[in-house]
Chain A
Amino acid sequence: MQNTKKTINAKNIIVLVLLILASAIILAPFLFMLISSFKPGRELMRYGINLNIDLNIMSFDNYGLLVTDRDGAYMHWYKNSLIITTMHTVLALFLTSMVGYGLAVYNFKGRNLIFLTVLAVMMVPIEILILPLYRLTVFMNIINTYWGVVLPFVVSPFAVFFFRQYAVGLPKEFIDAGRIDGCGEFGIYFRIMMPLMTPAFGAMAILQAMTSWNSFVWPLIVLRTTENFTLTIGLSSLITPYGNNYDLLIAGSVMSVIPLIVLFLLNQKAFISGLTIGGVKG
């Protein structure tokens, strides 16, 4: 008896050590970036990225440059990212929750066809559509605008699927009660059912915000001028073989990750349930 207890303890310690090692590898890039962000760009060019700390050359200068350099282009990108992420998240939640609810609650002709279409669209890489979508945004006159970035992908099939799975599990008695009280169908949705879906909204809000904040391929195609870039596009435009922008690049990267890390540390459960609720069912 004592013997088995001892082996379990030893096993636990080994597992713990391995997990700590793995965590160190996983977290290392964050530490490297943070340290490099305080060094002049030429250091990065000459020595690459490393953990050497030399207080003589380290300073907050790079962070100051983010505000002043290139007439504050970086601040523009930050602002654009904030606006696009907010627009995308609010619109996506409003629209996809309605669709998901509609698919879950009503029986109507074509419902199964629409649901299958949602699933099918989830399985097609949107990257193959970038050319015709580009021409479409030119035609719709929303190229190089916030709307051009947001509109084509705001009704995310994944979010529709997520809300549909969530709404299927809602108690239908509330709907009947609402009808008896004379509520219209939209009144029932907005006043009674939507509040019941709050946990789903929380989880999806975070996931949609994260997707939008980090999205790259589509904004790269829609946004044509520097002052309209988002953070991802702006930062990628700083990468050159000559290394002349390294001062901005690392500090700018660090600042761009911080909002999501704060959001994650405050609300880890929502991140994780957004990925899993109703997501994986063979």
Chain B
Amino acid sequence: MRNTQLTYKKRTHGIIPYLFVSPFIISFLVFFLYPTISTIVMSFQRILGPGDVSFIGLRNYQNLLNPLFFTALKNTTIYTFWTILVLVPLPIILAVILNDKTTIGKNVFRSIFFMPALTSVIVAGIFFRYAFGEQETTFINAILGNLGVKPIVWLQQKSTGMFALVVLCTWRWLGVNIIYFLSGLQNIPAELYESADIDGANAINKFINITLPGLRPVIIYVITISVYGGYAMFAESYTYWGTSNPGGIGLTLVQYIYQTGFNQNDMGFASAIGITLLLIVMIVNVIQLSFFGYFRKEED
């Protein structure tokens, strides 16, 4: 036994480990590093055609100071903010309920809550586009009608359009986040709850002092991917408004990249938006992670 372990440690496998990981290295170099560098370079260029490229310094970044960019930045930030505000507390509560031994039919409900995640943004978006339609007989307006409220033209106003976007996102992601939080709950040692019971703690005390701290890593993870997903949002808005976005309703940063790059063919400016978006996502996540003490935890 000792002998085999010795040979195991001594043996170097030469090129073999690199062959195993080569798919990632190749894919990273070709489809990630090269495009990233090329985006950075293009963001300092004016590109009029294949042979007509000139460096223009920071001009593309200066051009970001325009109302359309700020509309896109504002929309994307508000969207990210609301999705986090809804898609953290709500799934935590549902996960706690579904994790409770006394809850009836836990597995059935867990499956039901997950089902929307199976739909594509397009299919879900098609439904909500018509559910939030302007007809008074359509789903949401019909409900309002029963409550005596006049029909609303949901997708033609900024605030109600944003509401429709957040509803779509909540419907699709609720079940996924529930599963994340359920797996987090299962990692909290049961003894903690037992000793709290002995100390006579009530349900709310236990939730605040045991459950929430125990879920901290999962909360951090969910917020991180929500920042990433929220700032990269595009398809949801695309199903509601296409690429036209009248009056900037639902215009997102990625959509702005798409419009600038593909519709107006201004690759340089579109790249500057992309790099700015990347920096924003990184900065927001660093702020968020330090707020939740993630880095502090890494140190000790």
Contacts and interface: CB of A to CB of B under 8 A. Distances in A.
B246 to A, nearest CB: 11
Contact of A127 (B17, B94, B216, B234): B234
Interface stretch (A62-70, A97-105, A197-205): A97-105
A268 B27 CA distance: 31
B127 interface: yes
A275 B180 contact: yes
Nearest to B38: A132
Nearest to B258: A130
B133 A48 contact: yes
Given A106-B13, A131-B257, A216-B235, A121 B32 contact: yes
A49 B138 contact: yes
A121 B184 CA distance: 24
Contact of A136 (B16, B34, B124): B34
A232 interface: yes
Contacts of A23: 109, 112-113
A154 B27 contact: yes
A155 interface: yes
B153 interface: no
Interface string A178-215: 01100001100100000000000000000000100110
A12 B120 contact: no
A98 to B, nearest CB: 5
A115 to B, nearest CB: 9
Interface string B10-40: 0001001111110111111011101110110
Given A101-B20, A256-B123, A131 B274 contact: yes
A262 to B, nearest CB: 10
B127 A131 contact: no
Interface in A221-273: 221, 231-232, 235-236, 239, 249-250, 253, 256-257, 260-261, 264, 268, 271-272
A103 B297 CA distance: 25
A19 interface: yes
Contacts of B165: none
A271 B116 CA distance: 13
Contacts of A103: 20-21
Contacts of A235: 122-123, 126
Contacts, number: 271
A231 B5 CA distance: 53
A72 interface: no
Contact of B118 (A32, A127, A210): A210
B205 interface: no
B281 interface: yes
A98 B111 contact: no
Contact of A26 (B21, B26, B138, B174): B174
A154 B23 CA distance: 10
Residues of A contacting B: mostly = helix
B15 to A, nearest CB: 9
Contacts of A126: 232
Contacts of A1: none
Interface in B132-154: 133-135, 137-139, 141-142
A56 to B, nearest CB: 17
B13 A29 contact: no
A217 interface: yes
B249 interface: no
Contacts of B13: 106, 108, 185
A54 to B, nearest CB: 12
A49 B131 contact: yes
B218 interface: yes
B97 interface: yes
Nearest to A236: B122
Interface string A1-27: 000000010011001100100110011
Interface in B102-125: 102-105, 109-116, 118-124
B247 interface: no
B277 interface: yes
A108 B23 CA distance: 16
A169 interface: no
B167 to A, nearest CB: 10
A216 B24 contact: no
Contact of A129 (B39, B118, B129, B179): B39
Contacts of A27: 112, 115
A132 B183 contact: no
A160 B130 contact: no
A128 B275 contact: yes
Contacts of A185: 13, 16
A125 interface: yes
Q: Which 7 A-B pairs have the closest CB atoms?
A: A48-B138, A282-B217, A102-B20, A125-B232, A106-B17, A155-B27, A214-B120
14 contacts: A12-B102, A19-B97, A48-B137, A50-B138, A102-B17, A103-B20, A127-B277, A131-B42, A131-B270, A132-B271, A136-B35, A231-B120, A280-B184, A280-B221
